[in-house]
Amino acid sequence: MEIIHKTIPAPKDCYTDTYLKNNTAFFDIETTGFSAKNCFIYLIGLVIRKDETLEIFQFFAENPMEEKEILTAFYRYLSPVSTLICYNGLTFDIPFLKQRTEKQNLSFSWENFRIMDIYQEMRPFLNLLHLPDKKQKTLEMFLGIQREDSYTGGELVAVYKEYEKQPAEEKKSLLLLHNYEDILGMTKLLPLFSYLRFFAGEPDITSAKLEETLPFGADSPKKELQITLNTSLPFPARLTVEKEMYRLTFRENHVYLFIPVLEGELYFYYENYKDYYYLPLEDMAVHKSVASFVDKSHRKKATKSNCYTRRRGLFLPQQADWFAPCFYPGKIEKSSWFEYGEDFLSDSKKLALYVKNVLSLFI
């Protein structure tokens, strides 16, 4: 069994200061397969923050007989750690470690650690990125992180088995490099939390204004509500995502929310159509108390589909009944529109509630 130790300076950025505190550690394991019953752990990587440095440890088993030694050493080095960060560790690494620990007649409790799984934490946001997959390397590419290692964990199983039979420094270097870049790569994924932190917090609106834009290929300009929000952590990459009819752009310390504004005539439907009459000439419904003054030949009992009145103006979309009254372009649907006015922008509470509801749609 070999322990490889390296010390490097801790990154000086707001993400490291926010999420990678003293006694916080990243870890990752390399195994000879997916089955903890039939396979074993041959390498464990660990990164521990210690003041202004990152202490990097790799516990390498030269053969299956040394698995117990690397597990024992790994657990011993975790003694000062209170928070563990991993990538999909709750699904794979930790269950695998638990089974192999039991197999080796060792005991270790995970109950005293706060576990933060980057994959599990980020999964709601990752769905917005439309990446080919949600692997760690793919996220690193999204952030522009370059690797020297070109292997997958699966490909390296064969390399390790060759090393078992005939140890060679070249093969060992490939194994260690992959694991080293995995654990160091996790520390570089911390900026992704700036996106999640934005969605979890209260919207900090700095401006909201109605603008006219000319979409690409359109014949006439369209009205659009443009809202600018601040964020506490800068975003590592510029990103634009869309959901339903809403669009978000992340750039540096700002988020720009773009919402279409419908200009025209929409329908408001009365709930109890049995209390209304429909007036065909006016194409609208009126309450029975009013309809009694209308000639019987110009009125008929309202139905659910024609028990409405029409309103012309500017409207904002909503995916649920966030604001009343609700208007529709045609029949009643899950999504609706509510009337926009300048007083809406001046009402900070109402605007904040609307923005929060819109943002909740994205994740």
* 34 contacts: CB under 8 Å, gap ≥ 6: 92
Are 318 and 344 a contacting pair, CB within 8 Å?
no
Q: What is the pLDDT of residue 216?
A: 72
**pLDDT of residue 5 exceeding 90:** yes
pLDDT tens sequence across 179-206? 999 999 999 999 999 999 999 999 999 9
**pLDDT of residue 217 exceeding 80:** no
**Domains of the chain (ranges, CATH numbers):** 2-196 (3.30.420.10), 262-339 (no CATH)
**pLDDT of residue 39 exceeding 90:** yes
Task: Identify the DSSP state of 275.
Answer: G
Provide the whole-model pTM: 0.87
Are 248 and 256 a contacting pair, CB within 8 Å?
yes
Q: What one-letter code names the amino acid at 173?
A: S
Q: What is the pLDDT of residue 130?
A: 85
Cα 213 from Cα 205, distance rounded (Å): 21
Cα 354 from Cα 206, distance rounded (Å): 15
Residue 330 phi, psi (nearest 5)? -150, -125
Maximum Cα–Cα distance for the chain, whole Å? 101
Are 288 and 276 a contacting pair, CB within 8 Å?
yes
pLDDT tens sequence across 267-304? 999 999 999 999 999 999 999 999 888 998 999 999 99
Phi-psi region of 166 (alpha: psi -120 to 50; beta: other; left: phi over 0): beta
Cα 279 from Cα 61, distance rounded (Å): 85
pLDDT range class, residue 76, cuts 50, 70, 90: very high
Please tell me the chain's helix, strand, coil percentages from 3-state DSSP, rounded to the nearest 5. 35, 30, 35
What is the distance between the terminal CA atoms of the chain, rounded to a whole angstrom?
45
Cα 323 from Cα 353, distance rounded (Å): 10
